[in-house]
Chains A and B, each alone.
Chain A
Amino acid sequence: EAAVTQSPRNKVAVTGGKVTLSCNQTNNHNNMYWYRQDTGHGLRLIHYSYGAGSTEKGDIPDGYKASRPSQENFSLILELATPSQTSVYFCASGEDWGDCAEQFFGPGTRLTVL
């Protein structure tokens, strides 16, 4: 049974619209992460969280917000979507073991902003 799930798996949005990507994990991990994956850039960290109620900025947070209402759920919010945010988005969860911590990824959400 998949431990990190994402919804929706595919999304088409219009420029200026609001988009919410959802992530759920059953690993009982404290840490959760949002990445985007683009050709030539690999995986880039947008936001992450250490637990319910916390959000931290990653390397490319501009244009994105995050919300962690519970241990299990972590959302990525695009208030005003732009075509440059067309990408594949991955959520991950991880243990809080410092630099040894493995991250477990979801299957991804393909977002197209027209």
Chain B
Amino acid sequence: GDSVTQTEGPVTLSEGTSLTVNCSYETKQYPTLFWYVQYPGEGPQLLFKVPKANEKGSNRGFEATYNKEATSFHLQKASVQESDSAVYYCALGDTEGADRLTFGKGTQLIIQP
């Protein structure tokens, strides 16, 4: 079955430094890939999604490139802010018509001022 593996947290960074959260996936097809973000006390919300291989998604300064060859979708940001503190989930869409998402275990990001 489908699976997603991402950087184990928590990840603690200082404000202004760069971020990479690794995401690797296993699936038989070529799914849409997603990054979700969850702020404290809230449900997850979509950060961005990329439906096609070799394309890049971005939002709020975060970006990720769908790398089909490496089966990766790493989340990056050049300069993090304290407000980026949250849990980040990588996910892949179901390719067998079930309209399901498979989520990674999530990476907690803590940004210190």
Contacts and interface: CB of A to CB of B under 8 A. Distances in A.
A4 B44 CA distance: 12
Interface stretch (B16-24, B62-70, B73-81, B94-102): B94-102
Nearest to B97: A98
B interface: dominant SS: loop
B45 interface: yes
A45 B97 contact: no
Nearest to B42: A107
Contacts of A48: 99-100
Contact of A108 (B43, B92, B94, B100): B43
B25 interface: no
B113 interface: no
Interface residues of A, number: 29
A102 B44 contact: no
Contacts of B103: 42-44
Interface string A8-40: 000000000000000000000001010000001
B2 to A, nearest CB: 10
B41 A99 contact: no
Interface of A: 4, 31, 33, 40-45, 48, 50, 56, 58, 90, 92, 94, 96-108
Given A105-B45, A107-B42, 12 more contacts: A31-B99, A42-B103, A42-B104, A43-B44, A45-B101, A56-B98, A98-B97, A99-B32, A103-B101, A105-B44, A106-B43, A108-B42
